[in-house]
Amino acid sequence: MCHAFLTDTNFYQLLFQIDESIAEEVGARGCKCGGVLHSARYPRKPRGIRSALDSNYGSRLSFCCSQDGCRRRHTPASVRFLGRKVYLGVIVVLLTALNHGLSEARRRRLIEELDVPLQTLWRWRRCWRAVAGQFIPPIDADTLPGALLERLSGSSLSERLVQLLVLICPVTTSSSSLRVSGNPQNM
Ligand SMILES: [Zn+2]
């Protein structure tokens, strides 16, 4: 099956490295008040495919302003975690993509195995729509995000998934203004 990479440790390490570099930028900017940012990770218990995950997935990278009286939270965008949800972005993207390629019975089995509620999948359809709106020609909303994955330029499914996760990661946090620009040939 096409989700064999879900058990590929390198894939998760790559996602972690992307998160680390985004966090590095946020940390270097510092706080609006002029304070220095200290690491203050959020503990997370990602659900699904536990065996493939190492200890890096036990927390979401985040910072706290060290200035007394401010102590503002700064949580960088993440390609691994969607919002406050513990579900890994990759699983939600994949399951939603598989909506169109899997029989209903197999899809339900996969969702059960990975323990992701349907409501979560539906919530994330809104995000595909936002990302799809940036493409020319526009992508038919009924074919999201499968069509979105096809439009990206990576040679393998895992490469395209990484690109898609990077595209949607600005919506995973409210305190980040990060914007990722895509390949002009594909946008
Ligand atoms: Zn501050």
pLDDT in tens, the chain (187 residues): 344 555 667 777 778 888 898 899 999 999 999 999 999 998 887 665 554 566 778 888 999 999 999 999 999 888 777 655 555 666 666 666 665 566 677 667 766 666 666 666 666 666 667 777 777 777 776 666 677 777 777 777 667 777 777 777 665 554 433 333 333 333 2
Cβ count near 175 (within 10 Å): 13
Calculate how far, in angstroms, residue 70's C-alpha sits from the geometric centre of ligand 1.
5
Cβ count near 166 (within 10 Å): 19
Calculate how far, in angstroms, residue 75's C-alpha sits from the geometric centre of ligand 1.
13
Calculate how far, in angstroms, residue 36's C-alpha sits from the geometric centre of ligand 1.
7
pTM: 0.64
Question: Which residue is associated with the tokens 């395209």?
Answer: 160
User: In sequence order, which residues have a C-beta less than 8 Å from that of residue 125 and are 6 or more positions away?
Assistant: 96, 144
User: In sequence order, which residues have a C-beta less than 8 Å from that of residue 133 and are 6 or more positions away?
Assistant: none
Give backbone dihedrals phi and psi of 134, rounded to 5 degrees, phi first. -85, -5
- Name the token pair of 98: 């598989």
